[in-house]
Amino acid sequence: MTRILLLGGTTEASLLARALAAAGKDAVFSYAGRTDNPVAQPLPMRVGGFGGVAGLVDYLRAERIGAVVDATHPFAAQMSRNAVEACALAGVPLIGLERAPWVAAEDDNWTHVDSMETAVAALPDTPARVFLAIGKQNLAGFAAKPHHYLLRLVDAPDAPPLPDCTVVLARGPFEAEGDKALMLHHNISHIVAKNAGGAGAEAKLIAARALGLPVILIDRPTLPARRVVGSVAEVMAWLSHAERGV
């Protein structure tokens, strides 16, 4: 039986883990170790980086991995790039499980930007109250603007990440009603988010639409060419082909 490496950390990866476990597949679920207590999975787990491309090649060989599924987040670009390179070097088939980017509806007020820096520039110069729902990495640049920031983080930061901020600790997936209440409670005037796609992070966009609030949406990084599908079923079909060596 082919041993599968599942690069996880997203809602879709967790759904795939359940399908693999239910099918009795020999698979290992991989976390980066970014959060203190990641959600348990129904598969054996490994936590932490591999040590770059070379480390991943060594892992694939040592663990006799026969197929890799990259179900990491669209913004986990380094991991995805490493997976493409390492799988090519090790001759291991790779498939990406990726959700489509969000697309604005009629009554959405979205500004698309291509980086954290342009997201900062897109915020007003006069004081505002900004729901900065991009996690813990990449926050420093927002100190350049005189806003009050609402931050939602998975783990408590050692120190306040920005001079004028409120930190809420929560692990998604999130619900629109909860995000609407959060934004009303904090009198939010703007939202900044990554175009992560998927259902787990969409709640704040649905809430922003209901409240008529502007959203600054950061485009996802470009990834190298690779085979990509959008559903667990397609990954399972691809794996059964890979197992038959076709």
Element (H, E) at 204: helix 203-211
**Residue showing tokens 């709640």:** 203
Instruction: Return the number of the residue (34 or 226) whose C-beta is nearest ligand NAP.
Output: 34
In this chain, which of 3, 19, 38, 129 binds ligand 3Y8, going by CB under 6 A? 38
Question: How many Cβ atoms are within 10 Å of 184's Cβ, its own excluded?
Answer: 11
Q: Tokens for 170, please give them.
A: 């929560």
Stretch that binds ligand NAP, among 67-75, 150-158, 179-187, 207-215 (CB under 6 A): 67-75
Q: Does 118 bind ligand 3Y8 (CB under 6 A)?
A: no
Q: Does 160 bind ligand NAP (CB under 6 A)?
A: no
In this chain, which of 3, 19, 34, 238 binds ligand 3Y8, going by CB under 6 A? 34
Instruction: Return the number of the residue (66 or 135) whose C-beta is nearest ligand NAP.
Output: 135
Q: Does 9 bind ligand NAP (CB under 6 A)?
A: yes
In this chain, which of 2, 4, 8, 27 binds ligand NAP, going by CB under 6 A? 8
| Residue 79 interface partner, choices ligand 3Y8, ligand NAP, none, CB cut-off 5-8 Å depending on type | ligand NAP
- Euclidean distance between the first and final Cα of the chain, in Å? 14
**Residue showing tokens 């008529």:** 212
In this chain, which of 4, 7, 83, 165 binds ligand NAP, going by CB under 6 A? 7
Instruction: Return the number of the residue (79 or 116) whose C-beta is nearest ligand NAP.
Output: 79
Residue 165 main-chain phi, psi, to 5 deg: -145, 155
| Residue 200 interface partner, choices ligand 3Y8, ligand NAP, none, CB cut-off 5-8 Å depending on type | ligand 3Y8
Q: CA–CA separation, 122 vs 127, rounded Å?
A: 13
Binders in 140-169 for ligand 3Y8, by CB under 6 A: 152-155
Residue 22 main-chain phi, psi, to 5 deg: -65, -30
Stretch that binds ligand NAP, among 19-27, 60-68, 75-83, 99-107 (CB under 6 A): 75-83
Contacts of 160-168 spanning 24+ positions with Cβ under 8 A: 161/136, 162/132, 165/132
SS3 of residue 203 by DSSP: helix
Tell me the CA distances in angstroms from 174 to 17, 117, 178, 217, 233, one per residue in order.
20, 26, 7, 18, 24
* Sign of the CA dihedral running 178, 165, 114, 221: negative
Q: Does 79 bind ligand NAP (CB under 6 A)?
A: yes
Binding residues for ligand NAP, per CB under 6 A? Answer: 7-10, 30-32, 34, 49-52, 55-56, 72-73, 75-79, 82, 135, 194
Binding residues for ligand 3Y8, per CB under 6 A? Answer: 9-11, 14, 31-35, 38-39, 73, 133-138, 152-155, 171-174, 193-194, 196, 198, 200-201, 204
